Amino acid sequence: MVKTKIAVVSTSFPLRSDDFSGVFVAELVSHLPESVDWQVVTPCGVEQTSSTGRLSGRVRCFRYAPSGWQRLAQGPGGLPAALSQPVNLLLLPPFLLAMFIASLRAARQVDVLHANWSPVGFLAGLAARSAGISCITTLRGSDIDLAERREVFRWALRACAALNQRLVCVGSSAAMRAARLLHVDASELAVIPNGIAPAFFVVPQAAPANPELRVLALGSLVRVKGLDTVIQALALMPARCRLSLVGTGPEQDRLASLATDLGVNGRVRFVGARSPAEIPSLMAEHDVLVLASRAEGRPNAVLEAMAAGRAVVASDISAVREILRDGVTGLLFPVGDAAALAQQLKQLSTDPNLRARLGEAARQSVLRLTWRSAALRYADLYAEVVGVAP
């Protein structure tokens, strides 16, 4: 069998077994068929010069600063969150140079570079063109959101499109938004949704008789996730409603202060970071997942909660409307509207049958979204672009 050789370039990847950053990239490569020979190129993290995770044999992390200063990527919120701290801007030039050199080295050994995130796709596209091979980039959603707001990211997206043979979006709404920015038809962009790990489909049903409503929020503690809205909604709820925040990030102190100011700090639990393997059991311990994001590409937390049969209450944004039907497989509320979110949670708190009905309908709606099916579609795309003239 002649294998297609690819290198996946990403700003985040789980370098340790308990890492959460870039887990979707790890899931994709671990499900690729035998016809694809893959490797991963990613920056090293703080105090890390190599990968020790389950896929470490194929993962090459590149250094861009002394090990204790390698904090631009692999952290909560990724590169955008890190760059919100001005001191980290000094690390950006060596980071970009190191990523380009690492991509160029990989390009000389493979048939296709597969970048994740449009600025990475620009660098990988340059490396692929230098090596005379093809490049594709998956737009993860945050890059599209940034491109809609800031000119430098619009430039990066358009440069990425010019240097890549194909662009992939994780959802149809993301494809339409990217197409508007690129002034092309959305049909020119491939759409390959992320998969869902099998462990979520076997999470047991929530106990309907529990007197407390146990609410879960997953993700980096960064401003775009809208977790302040969730805490404000909790303050409007009865005392039997409790919230668990799973993740870490620069907003943690502010969120803790907000909970104290609103008098709900005793009902908010900051769980901290958890490994991907622990998330299904966390789902099992809760009744409802809340997503209050102001922008998303295609929120994996929502898909995972749906697979676990949990009721979902999410902000009414295009990426969520694409996967969740209001009143059928979940409930929506206007972005930033704490009162509306509280009202939806009160409805779920007093009606366990509604929670069960929404959860089961949600589970049935995502049964076909597996990482294996996503990986097979990427394998077809790799084969399609091999030999396409840069």
CB atoms closer than 10 angstroms to residue 388: 13
Lowest-confidence pick of 8-17, 39-48, 80-89, 231-240 = 80-89
- Closest to 295 in 3D by CA, of 324, 316, 275: 316
Q: Indicate if 127 and 61 belong to the same structural domain.
A: yes
Residue 238 lies in a domain: yes
Would you state the pLDDT for residue 311? 96
pLDDT in tens, 307-339: 999 999 999 998 899 999 999 999 999 999 999
- Closest to 288 in 3D by CA, of 330, 322, 337, 246: 330
Q: Indicate if 222 and 185 belong to the same structural domain.
A: no
β-partners of residue 120 are: none
Q: Indicate if 221 and 250 belong to the same structural domain.
A: yes
Would you state the pLDDT for residue 53? 57
Residue holding tokens 């002649």? Answer: 2
**pLDDT for 303 beyond 70:** yes
For residue 266, the SS3 value is: helix
**Cβ neighbours of residue 186 under 8 Å, at least 6 residues apart?**
172, 175, 176, 178, 179
Q: Which domain holds residue 269?
A: 198-365
Q: How far apart, in whole angstroms, are the C-alpha atoms of residue 310 and residue 334? A: 20
- Closest to 8 in 3D by CA, of 154, 142, 135, 113: 113
**pLDDT for 75 beyond 90:** no
Would you state the pLDDT for residue 140? 85
pLDDT in tens, 353-373: 999 999 999 999 999 999 999
Q: Indicate if 168 and 266 belong to the same structural domain.
A: no
Would you state the pLDDT for residue 46? 80
Q: Indicate if 91 and 116 belong to the same structural domain.
A: yes
**Cβ neighbours of residue 214 under 8 Å, at least 6 residues apart?**
242, 244, 285, 286, 287, 288
**pLDDT for 13 beyond 80:** yes
- Please report, for the chain, how many H helices and E strands are present, in that order: 15, 13
- Rounded to an integer, the average pLDDT of 239-247 is 93
Residue 236 lies in a domain: yes
Q: Which amino acid is at 358?
A: L
Residue 58 lies in a domain: yes
Q: Indicate if 186 and 203 belong to the same structural domain.
A: no
**Cβ neighbours of residue 365 under 8 Å, at least 6 residues apart?**
306, 323, 325, 329
The bridge status of strand 213-218 relative to strand 288-291 is parallel
Mean pLDDT, the chain, whole residue set? 91
Would you state the pLDDT for residue 52? 52
Q: Which residues of 267-278 are buried (b: 16+ CB within 10 A; e: fewer)?
A: bbebeebbebee
Q: Indicate if 202 and 346 belong to the same structural domain.
A: yes
User: Residue 188 sits in a domain of what CATH number?
Assistant: 3.40.50.2000
Q: What is the pTM of this model?
A: 0.87
**pLDDT for 83 beyond 60:** yes
CB atoms closer than 10 angstroms to residue 62: 19
pLDDT in tens, 156-215: 999 999 999 999 999 998 999 999 999 999 999 999 999 999 999 999 987 766 778 999
- Overall domain count for the chain: 2
Residue 17 lies in a domain: yes
Would you state the pLDDT for residue 79? 79
Q: Indicate if 175 and 272 belong to the same structural domain.
A: no
Q: How far apart, in whole angstroms, are the C-alpha atoms of residue 299 and residue 292? A: 11
Q: How far apart, in whole angstroms, are the C-alpha atoms of residue 377 and residue 136? A: 13
Residue 390 lies in a domain: no
Q: Indicate if 204 and 131 belong to the same structural domain.
A: no
Q: Indicate if 57 and 185 belong to the same structural domain.
A: yes
Residue holding tokens 């490396």? Answer: 127
Would you state the pLDDT for residue 295? 85
At 50, is the pLDDT very low, low, confident or very high (cuts 50, 70, 90)?
Answer: low
Q: Indicate if 202 and 345 belong to the same structural domain.
A: yes
Q: Indicate if 50 and 146 belong to the same structural domain.
A: yes
Lowest-confidence pick of 22-31, 151-160, 258-267, 308-317 = 22-31
